Amino acid sequence: MHTHPEASEVMFVLEGTFSAGFISAETNKAYVKSLKKGDLYVFPQGLLHFQFNTGNTTATAIAAYSNQNPGLQIAVYALFGNTLTVETIAVYALFGNTLTVETVNKTTFVTKEEVMRLKDLFGQSSVPS
């Protein structure tokens, strides 16, 4: 999961299937869509977002940005770094409510077991659905 603080991103699917989504800044709700060849998806500027291949074949997409210097912040590094603090635990809890263990696993490369352990630790549901 990552953000581009200086630009919106548009993604056009050339082949394959993707799951893509972003998290609202106002409600912390996850908006997730399944995308196929020919679909276009817009990630608003500065919002946490992700995309990953959901098919059994190669998936290819083209991305473009509203700024030649969109910036990049990868959430797992920004949030967890070397240590957990009260602030990062609170931020994790905000988006842990709406994302499944599988989605967090595929977008952060944290193992499903570790995601479930962290969800339990921070008081979130650890149901792996």
Q: How many domains does the chain have?
A: 1
Q: Is residue 129 part of a domain?
A: no
What pLDDT is recorded for position 21?
A: 96
pLDDT digits (tens, 9 = 90+) for 42-69: 999 999 999 999 999 999 999 999 999 9
| Percent with pLDDT over 90 in the chain | 50
Binding residues for oxalate: 4, 9
Q: Is residue 82 part of a domain?
A: yes
Q: Is residue 113 part of a domain?
A: yes
Q: Is residue 49 part of a domain?
A: yes
Its domain, for residue 100, covers: 2-121
| Residue in this structure with the two tokens 């940005």, named with its chain if needed | 65
Q: Is residue 126 part of a domain?
A: no
pLDDT digits (tens, 9 = 90+) for 69-90: 998 887 766 554 444 455 555 5
Q: Give the CATH number, domain containing residue 34.
A: 2.60.120.10
Q: In this structure, is the dihedral angle defined by the CA atoms of residues 19, 24, 25 and 28, taken in order, positive or negative? A: negative
Binding residues: 2, 4, 9, 49
Binding residues for Mn(2+): 2, 4, 9, 49
Using an 8 Å Cβ cutoff, are 95 and 48 in contact? yes
Q: Is residue 29 part of a domain?
A: yes
